[in-house]
Amino acid sequence: MAAKSPKLSLACTILILSHKLSFASASCFTSIISFGDSIADTGNAPYLSPESGRPPFYTLPPYGETFFNHPTGRCSDGRLIIDFIAEEFELPFVAPFLQGGRNGNVNSTSFRDGANFAVVGATALEDSFFDERGVTVPLANVSLVAQLRWFNQFLSKICPTTSSDCKGFIETSLVLVGEIGGNDYNHALLGGIKEAEVRSFVPHVVNIIGSAITELINLGAVTLMVPGNFPIGCSSAYLTYFLSENQDDYEPATGCIKWLNRFAQYHNDLLKKELARIRELHPHTTIIYADYYNAVMDLYRSPIEHGFAGGALGACCGGGGPYNCNLTVHCGYPPSNTCDDPSLYVNWDGMHFTEAAYKWIALGLLKGPYTTPPLSTVCPALISSSHGRLYHPM
């Protein structure tokens, strides 16, 4: 009998141990503060959409159907990575900053468990960068710089009289900086800009992320988690846009586009170097790299073993075609179609993942090997959580 595949053993172990994310106490943090794009937005974007005209796709069914039973502004059928992280730390889902209104009417009570500043479509870089290079940003953009301005506005309202209160709030929070930067490349690559030019964006994107981390540390952040980019060559949208008859363009084991995944790895390599640089400057701050790339690559390499019988590359909800992705017919708008069971699919709508996939990614971060330093060393309570069901790769 052949030896067990390490990937298969890992998948089976997580499946057995974590059929449900019903975590026990792991209260290392009192709140979560989040920045980013649609991977983390829990409902800010709908507050920014025009009151007239066609509603945004993420405010329409079938978005939200799996867990919430209605759209919430999340770009998935259910929960996101940030939601599973919140559940792990026994915190409520992180409230979108704009639920206090467009003017940010907040108070210390309504956001005592944290606040989410992430927005669908957000970029790390500001609009002027893209304007100068002829890149169209299709949505109302709230860049990472703008999100930090929101955060400072937020702080001035929840602790207007003393900065020490804010410092305590931030010190005991898990601060999620991203995923951010993906849209800086999406808008350009899917808008026809050549790879070589878009590759030149990467140092600018990473520098902005580094500056944001430094600003947050100066404001009092002690524990920050910074995700890298996903393997975009496996995205249904990219597979559709860059469809090729040349089989050498694709990875044999996954069917993903090689050069796009190399691009994502280039971003991640520069980001890890930037994080190492900041760690040296701030040795008493914990900066965790979240390896989204390899966490989700497990699913692309062996979707069936992870329970994704519908496959990893085709979208559950989309407008048809080889990957059920039509860049002019988005999920939520007719005549798009939706699969019967999203839990059998990795990809949700061409660009985003299903709740089931986000759950696996979250488990890989919380219980698995996809954080550096390991999250369990930052929060030892993770080791004994999940009602004693430990994560033991075999």
Task: Answer for the pair 232, 254: CB distance below 8 angstroms, yes or no.
Answer: no
Residue 311 has pLDDT above 80, yes or no: yes
104: confidence class by pLDDT, cuts 50, 70, 90 = low
CA distance 159 to 156: 6
CA 208 → CA 219, 240, 274, distances in Å? 17, 30, 10
Instruction: Identify the pLDDT of residue 26.
Output: 54
Q: What is the mean pLDDT of the chain?
A: 89
Give the separation between CA 299 and CA 351, rounded to whole angstroms: 15
Select the more confidently predicted residue: 139 or 9.
139
pLDDT tier for residue 310 given thresholds of 50, 70 and 90? very high
pTM, 2 dp: 0.90
User: Residues 109-133: what's their mean pLDDT?
Assistant: 93
> For residue 391, what pLDDT band results from cuts at 50, 70 and 90?
very low
Q: Which of 18, 31, 38, 76 is catalytic?
A: 38
Q: Which residues pair with 173 in a beta bridge?
A: 31
Confidence category of residue 381, pLDDT binned at 50, 70, 90: confident
Active-site residue, 349 included: yes
Q: Which residue is catalytic, options 267, 306, 330, 352?
A: 352
pLDDT over 80 (residue 295): yes
Residue 352 a catalytic site member: yes
Given a cut of 90, whether residue 274 has pLDDT beyond it is: yes
Look at residue 2 in the predicted model and tell me its pLDDT: 42
**Count of other CB atoms within 10 angstroms of residue 112:** 14
Give dist(CA 150, CA 167) in Å, integer: 17
Name the active-site residue from 349, 376, 385, 386: 349
Q: What is the pLDDT of residues 257-267, one digit of tens each?
A: 999 999 999 99
Annotation says 38 is catalytic = yes
Nearest to 209 by CA among 123, 132, 119: 123
Comparing 202 with 24, the larger pLDDT belongs to: 202
pLDDT recorded at residue 297:
97
Whether the per-residue pLDDT at 392 is higher than 50: the answer is no
Mean pLDDT computed over 293-319: 97
Specify the pLDDT at position 339. 98
Q: Give 101's pLDDT tier (boundaries 50, 70, 90).
A: low
**Residue 190 pLDDT exceeds 80:** yes
